[in-house]
Amino acid sequence: MKKGNVLVIGNSGVGKSTLINAVLGEDVAITSWGDKGTTIKLDIYNGEPFNVIDTIGFEPSWIKSLKAIAAIKKWSHKSAKEENEDTQINVIWFCVDGTSRKLFPNAIKDLSRSISMWKSVPIIVVITKSYSVPERTENIELVNKVFSQNKDLSKRLRKIIPVVASPYILNDTASAPPEGITELIDATNELMPEGFKAAKNDISRFNLGRKRAWAQGAIVASVGSAVAKCFINLGTSDSLVLSAIENALVDSLSKIYNVDKNSKVTQIIKNNITNGTVNKIAKSAISLIEKLPIGQKLGSTIINPIIAASVVILIGESAAMSFEKVYLGNGDNEGVEKFEEVFESDVVSEIVEQVKIIGDNLTSESSPKEITQAAANFVNSKKSKKQ
Ligand SMILES: Nc1nc2c(ncn2[C@@H]2O[C@H](COP(=O)(O)OP(=O)(O)O)[C@@H](O)[C@H]2O)c(=O)[nH]1
Ligand SMILES: [Mg+2]
């Protein structure tokens, strides 16, 4: 079975190491991660049934805690890019010191920055050193209050557990026995399935920006081929020429978003290309644009490749949106729905609008290169607006 990872964050001295020992026992194997020569590193305890990652170096000094935040971020980003299951974070133990309640607000604010990549991973707040029974209720209330001021954090706060990780002797007659450890282990195990899903989503979201850039590049490349073909060929009515380019684009996009080539969504998109639906859209657009001032200004030698470019952009962008749905874990059906949503809307007039924008600065003398550039600019301007 897959083993989950728990990230333990908390200022230096709050009792992270003591807590980890209490949960996993003293003799667990540790591997370290961090830049050589720095005091900021992560200790990875290979425990059962989950691994625990201790963050060393969250000193009260802000410069050191900045470094610790940077170290966790760096490790997280590296693990996300590699999509490595062994290094993803599935549950976060957010430790605050029960004997210094006035530090809660700042500690929570600072520490939360280190976990910004793990936006949906569930959080358990562990109130360490909870020796004083009467203070436990007040501490829980304060943690709740601080979390409620941050919507993103409070959404994934699952539990607040006061613990005593090793016996604490108050005086000759009174001591605080270990407490809360079993509850913490049980709660962590219970959250693991949610944690696996959350980590997967967070990694996908993190990598989405790179995927979008690649998708944009693929669309622009196909636009170039479509323009080149249509400039010398018969125009968009030659559906065979364009459908080969469009199908190849759909294939590259499905690869970019890790969507199976044989998935339902890929098949439906390709069906629309090969069964003539897309060709019909292109033809309707041509006959509309021919009558418009832009069509008359540019003439069919220029207008046809612009329409071809617009159709490729439409296919590419709607396929990319559908694949994003699948990539983000929403499944094949939502991918299909997204595509149908686009194709059931008024795509012909959308293409007409696109052609007007792309053709705006072109003339009847424009070269295929200039047409491609104008179409690429259009794709890029739309993407930067979206983000
Ligand atoms: N008695 C007792 N001492 C604790 C407990 N938690 C932390 N400490 C003490 O607090 C100090 C800092 O703990 P440590 O685990 O090293 O904190 P870290 O820097 O967050 O790893 C140590 O002296 C621990 O013995 C606890 O539950 N009981
Ligand atoms: Mg420690």
Specify the DSSP class assigned to residue 171. Answer: S
Q: Which two tokens stand for residue 239?
A: 């559906």
C-alpha 376 – ligand 1 centre gap (Å):
59
Query: What does the pLDDT read at residue 236?
Result: 46
Task: Spell out the per-residue pLDDT of the chain, length 387, in tens.
Answer: 678 999 999 988 899 999 999 999 888 888 877 666 555 678 889 998 999 998 876 666 666 667 777 778 888 888 888 877 777 899 999 999 999 999 899 889 888 888 888 899 999 999 999 999 999 999 999 999 999 999 989 999 999 999 999 988 888 888 888 899 999 999 999 999 999 999 988 888 888 988 999 999 999 999 999 999 888 655 445 556 789 999 999 999 999 999 999 999 999 999 999 988 888 898 899 999 999 999 999 998 999 999 999 999 999 999 999 999 999 888 899 999 999 998 888 899 999 999 999 999 999 999 999 999 999 999 998 765 554
Query: What does the pLDDT read at residue 98?
Result: 96
Query: What does the pLDDT read at residue 238?
Result: 56
Distance, in Å, from the CA atom of 34 to the CA atom of 305, rounded to the nearest integer, reads: 53
Residues around ion ligand 2, judged by CB within 5 A, are 16-17
C-alpha 17 – ligand 2 centre gap (Å):
4
Ligand 1 atom closest to the CA of 169, numbered from 1: 1
Backbone angles phi, psi at 310, to 5 degrees: -65, -40
Decide if 218 contacts 249 (C-beta within 8 A).
Answer: yes
C-alpha 18 – ligand 1 centre gap (Å):
5
Amino acid at residue number 219 = I
Helical (H) or strand (E) element with 196: helix 181-232
Domains of the chain and any CATH numbers: 4-179 (3.40.50.300), 208-386 (no CATH)
Nearest CA to ligand 1 atom 27: 165
C-alpha 297 – ligand 2 centre gap (Å):
73
Ligand 1 atom closest to the CA of 21, numbered from 1: 15
Ligand 1 atom closest to the CA of 95, numbered from 1: 20
C-alpha 166 – ligand 1 centre gap (Å):
8
C-alpha 113 – ligand 1 centre gap (Å):
24
- Nearest ligand (C-alpha, residue 129): 1
Query: What does the pLDDT read at residue 319?
Result: 96
Distance, in Å, from the CA atom of 232 to the CA atom of 294, rounded to the nearest integer, reads: 20
Ligand 1 atom closest to the CA of 14, numbered from 1: 20
Residue whose C-alpha is closest to residue 129's, from 151, 97, 102: 97
Nearest CA to ligand 1 atom 6: 15
Report the predicted TM-score, pTM, of the whole model to 2 decimal places: 0.75
Q: Which of 18, 43, 181 to mutate to test the pocket of ligand 1 (most atoms within 8 A of CB)?
A: 18
SS3 assignment, position 130: coil
Distance, in Å, from the CA atom of 275 to the CA atom of 185, rounded to the nearest integer, reads: 56
C-alpha 188 – ligand 2 centre gap (Å):
20
Q: Angle 278-280-286 (CA atoms, 0-180°, nearest 5)?
A: 105
Q: Which residues line ligand 1 (CB under 6 A)?
A: 10, 12-18, 128-129, 164-166, 168
Measured CA to CA in angstroms, residue 305 lies from 282, 329, 366 at distances of 11, 36, 11
Query: What does the pLDDT read at residue 273?
Result: 92
Distance, in Å, from the CA atom of 184 to the CA atom of 238, rounded to the nearest integer, reads: 66
SS3 assignment, position 178: coil
Residue listed under structure tokens 């996993």: 24
